[in-house]
Amino acid sequence: MKSKSIFWLLITVLLTPAPFARGQQSGKLFRIGFLDNGTASDSAILWDQCRQELNKLGWIEGKNLAIEHRFADGKYESLPELVADLVRLKVDLIAVSETTPALAAKSATTTIPIVFTNAGDPVAAGLVATLARPGGNITGLASLSTQLNTKRLEVLKDAVPKLSRVGLLTPAGRGPGSGLQLKELRPAALALKLKLEEIETQFDANGVENAFKTAKQKQVDAIMTTVNRNFLVERKRIANLAVRYRLPAIYFQKEFADDGGLMSYGADYNDLFRNAAHYIDKILKGAKPADLPVQQATKFEFVINLKAAKQIGLTIPIKLLERANNVIK
């Protein structure tokens, strides 16, 4: 009798749907928000990576998932209202692109779970207490963009013979996140015996070109930018100006090199957005953000555009070419 009781108990347990399964069967539609400080067109590929990974995990838009998209189009001052709108909609989760929208979301809610896809340094920015124990209602992935700025300077020095002066384009008014990057870059430049010329850049009709004119006036040997979504939006214009002014440059995302920039070194953002889907999946299934450690980027991309090198008369050293993940000819 005892063995029969155990048998039927096991059968009952096995046949009882898990809480999440019951939610799916009952047709519950989970609503999440995608909050991005860039434009819809420039962010589409990355968010598609997240969406496709969610599909693989069983989340289908219109069936058990609805996604609310909010884009700031580079206007950081609009982020608080955009996230407030998502809070009013009572979304089940907010996924954000990077540090600045993550800070806006964190300020707007302490209850709705937040997942950031590529915060540069989430601890230094005040997003989480520690990587291992985020605490609160927020977690996600770190792109290490601040730390990688030092690596970009090193690559630039390896690529440009007798490099001594580097023009660093920063957003006018410094912009969110620039302070942390400058704190890392200034001592790194000194260690590499490089003079860093900080050039504030306006993102209007003439602002980017004016920054290049200033760079030429300061007689820089090369340029780089801080990690900022507005620079990504302007990448084609920046790449063209770098060629026109014959200035070697290194950027933080491969899209710059794809669009004519000389070199890029940074985290694999497609991989980060795909991994963000797994955080979303776990949280919608009941996990708490505070219990999910922040994951640092593990995949990096170093791209060299030889066409751009030829246009400015620069010969890339063989040893540097051998280190590249991708060489565009």
200 and 104 share one domain: no
Domain of residue 312: give its range: 145-267+301-328
202 and 100 share one domain: no
Range 162-169 average pLDDT? 97
**pLDDT value at residue 175:** 58
- 178 — pLDDT class (breaks 50, 70, 90): confident
105 and 159 share one domain: no
**pLDDT value at residue 291:** 96
Handedness of CA 184, 190, 193, 197 (dihedral sign): positive
Percent of all residues in the chain with a pLDDT value above 70, rounded to a whole number: 91
228 and 118 share one domain: no
Q: Which two tokens stand for residue 7?
A: 């048998």
Q: How much is the mean pLDDT over the chain?
A: 91
pLDDT of residue 1 exceeding 80, the answer is no
What is the three-class DSSP state of 10? helix
Place of tokens 């997942």: 115
Q: What is the 3-state secondary structure (H, E, C) of 59-96?
A: CCECCCEEEEEEECCCCHHHHHHHHHHHHHCCCCEEEE
**pLDDT value at residue 282:** 98
Percent of all residues in the chain with a pLDDT value above 90, rounded to a whole number: 80
Q: Residues near 170 by Cβ (< 8 Å), separated by ≥ 6?
A: 178, 182, 198, 199, 200, 201, 225, 226, 228
61 and 138 share one domain: yes
- 173 — pLDDT class (breaks 50, 70, 90): confident
201 and 324 share one domain: yes
**pLDDT value at residue 172:** 86
Alpha-carbon gap, residue 167 to 224, rounded angstroms: 6
What amino acid is encoded at 69 in this protein? H
Task: Please state the separation of Cα 117 from the chain's center in Å.
Answer: 6
**pLDDT value at residue 5:** 45
- 176 — pLDDT class (breaks 50, 70, 90): low
Do 304 and 250 touch, CB atoms closer than 8 A? no
Range 238-264 average pLDDT? 97
**pLDDT value at residue 204:** 86
pLDDT of residue 163 exceeding 50, the answer is yes
68 and 172 share one domain: no
Do 264 and 253 touch, CB atoms closer than 8 A? yes
79 and 218 share one domain: no
**pLDDT value at residue 147:** 83
292 and 236 share one domain: no
- 180 — pLDDT class (breaks 50, 70, 90): confident
Q: Residues near 90 by Cβ (< 8 Å), separated by ≥ 6?
A: 31
Alpha-carbon gap, residue 154 to 46, rounded angstroms: 28
- 205 — pLDDT class (breaks 50, 70, 90): confident
**pLDDT value at residue 20:** 42
202 and 81 share one domain: no
**pLDDT value at residue 229:** 85
Among the residue ranges 14-28, 130-144, 182-196, 297-311, the one predicted with the least confidence is 14-28
Do 192 and 153 touch, CB atoms closer than 8 A? yes
Instruction: Give, in order, the Cα–Cα distances in Å from 54 to each of 89, 277, 285.
Output: 21, 5, 13
Per residue in 209-246, pLDDT tens?
999 999 999 999 999 999 988 899 899 999 999 999 99
pLDDT of residue 33 exceeding 60, the answer is yes
Q: Which residues of 155-172 are buried (b: 16+ CB within 10 A; e: fewer)?
A: bbbebbeebeebbbbbbe
**pLDDT value at residue 177:** 67
- Predicted TM-score (pTM) of the model is 0.86
CATH number for the domain spanning 23: value is 3.40.50.2300
Alpha-carbon gap, residue 237 to 247, rounded angstroms: 14
- Give the count of domains, the chain: 2
Per residue in 114-155, pLDDT tens?
999 999 999 999 999 999 999 999 999 999 987 899 999 999
116 and 93 share one domain: yes
pLDDT of residue 83 exceeding 90, the answer is yes
Instruction: Give, in order, the Cα–Cα distances in Å from 117 to each of 79, 144, 302, 307, 327.
Output: 16, 12, 20, 32, 27
Do 259 and 276 touch, CB atoms closer than 8 A? no
Range 55-60 average pLDDT? 98
- 76 — pLDDT class (breaks 50, 70, 90): confident
pLDDT of residue 13 exceeding 60, the answer is no
pLDDT of residue 11 exceeding 60, the answer is no
179 and 284 share one domain: no
Instruction: Please provide the DSSP assignment of 144-191 as one string.
Output: -HHHHHHHHHHHHHHHSTT--EEEEEEETT--TTHHHHHHHHHHHHHH
